[in-house]
Amino acid sequence: METEGKLSVVATPIGNLEDITLRALRTLKEADYILCEDTRVTGKLLKHYEIKAKTRRYDAHSSEKSHETILNDLKEGKHIALVSDAGTPCVSDPGVLLIKTIHNHNNGHPMSIIMVEAIPGPSAVTSAFSISGVTGNKFVFLGFVPHKKGRQTFFESLSTYKMPVIFYESPHRIMKTLDSLKNMSDDNLPIDWKVIVARELTKIHEEVVKGTPEEVFEYFIENPDHVRGEFVVIIN
């Protein structure tokens, strides 16, 4: 079997720039170029570690032609690194479309494949779960809460899960989400239903807030200056 190029899926810090592996740094240095959501965000990381690497924009708006260009580069033997703005790529992230493109190529050319490797590291999901105090070793991850279409169905479905549920929310919509949780019918929720909100993970102002949906909502109403950063919400 002949190997063509290689795509390295590289996890990067979710806040604290020290949270990056030696392997990740070496990979970013060795890559022919780095695909990133925002070249400015990735540029700060590269500058911090004095990595002089070429970067190219790759996000949810990347076209099919963009995928073809990347695929052709890989077929020519290039080594490309894929990063997100923070954390592990392809988890609630458009990078999964590129991975699918490569897998489709490999399935059609089983004797000549493009290697896809994982360079593991920070993840907001596992980081939040590890400090939440939730017992057990199972949870359901739902990605980001839908903005409009499917939002009501999303919240109505939460009570159907028999294990903790984790999802992401932005600072612009966290209060709307907490209000939705607070206003859900008591008939649909367990008596001891709790909400855990983790924000600013790995940063100076890292915070975990626990309580009933109403208690957590009131906390952020009383502390509006804490409605900042990315949020991980755990329902237990």
- For the residues of 35-66, what is the DSSP string, one character each? EES-HHHHHHHHHHTT----EEE-STT--HHH
The residue count of the chain comes to: 236
Q: Domain spans of the chain?
A: 2-119, 124-235
Residue 81's nearest CA partner among 20, 171, 151 is: 20
Please tell me the pTM assigned to this model. Answer: 0.89
Q: Kindly indicate whether the domain formed by 124-235 is annotated with CATH number 3.90.1170.50.
A: no
What pLDDT does residue 1 have? Answer: 62
pLDDT at 94: 81
| Amino acid identity for residue 86 in this structure | A
Is 116 in a helix, a strand, or coil?
strand
pLDDT of residue 191: 55
Architecture in CATH of 2-119: 3-Layer(aba) Sandwich (3.40)
**Residue 47: what pLDDT?**
97
Mean pLDDT, each 10-residue run in order, the chain (236 residues): 87 96 98 96 97 93 87 96 94 87 88 90 95 92 91 90 94 94 68 88 96 94 95 96
Amino acid 2: pLDDT: 67
- Asked if 82 and 89 touch (Cβ cutoff 8 Å), the reply is yes
Q: What is the pLDDT of residue 228?
A: 93
User: How far is it, in rounded angstroms, from Cα 158 to Cα 180?
Assistant: 12
